[in-house]
Amino acid sequence: MEWTDKLATGISTIDSQHKELFKRINNLVIAIKQHRCKEEIEGTIKFLDDYARIHFSEEEKHMRDSSYTGLEEQHEDHKKYLAMLAELKEQASLTRMLGGSYDLSATTNQVVVDWIVDHIMKLDMKYGAFLKSRKSSE
């Protein structure tokens, strides 16, 4: 999963946080692929969860401050992502309880990766376009 300029919304704070999210998600994908120790994978999921919460609330604040009409749609989609992370977290702790070998579902993992690309491409870009069109009509 690579960051490209096609994913840039034009809002610098949001774009740099998206880049960081990409980096962290990539770390998680690698950790899961390499069957790294539970602690490391759980730690990465926890960081991703904390960071996503901070990012979403800043992004939503940005949208609220600019009276963005698509805020509700954004909020719902952000909630979906946090729910997926919660599922990943649960899978991680279940594996620990069973004491089995650590093998997180590749599907769940893929869902998290697909979500971010899809979310940025559709919803966040829409917000970037909203800001741009408002600026040009001023």
Q: Give the residue with the Cβ less far from Fe ion, 15 or 124.
A: 124
Q: Give the residue with the Cβ less far from Fe ion, 28 or 63.
A: 63
Cα(75)–Cα(80) distance, rounded to whole angstroms?
A: 9
| Type of residue at 60 | E
Nearest approach in angstroms of CB 62 to Fe ion is 10
Nearest approach in angstroms of CB 123 to Fe ion is 5
Which residues, 54 to 93, sit near Fe ion by CB under 5 A?
A: 59
Which residues, 31 to 60, sit near Fe ion by CB under 5 A?
A: 59
Q: Which residue has the tokens 């401050």?
A: 65
Number of shown-chain residues binding Fe ion (CB under 5 A) = 2
**Can residue 15 be called a binding residue for Fe ion (CB under 5 A)?**
no
Among 43, 66, 124, 138, which residue sits at the site for Fe ion (rule: CB under 5 A)? 124
Distances (CA, A) of 72 to 56, 101, 121, 123: 12, 40, 17, 11
Burial class (CB in 10 A: 0-12, 13-18, 19+), 64: exposed
Nearest approach in angstroms of CB 51 to Fe ion is 13
Neighbours of 40 (CB within 10 A): 15
List of residues contacting Fe ion (CB under 5 A): 59, 124
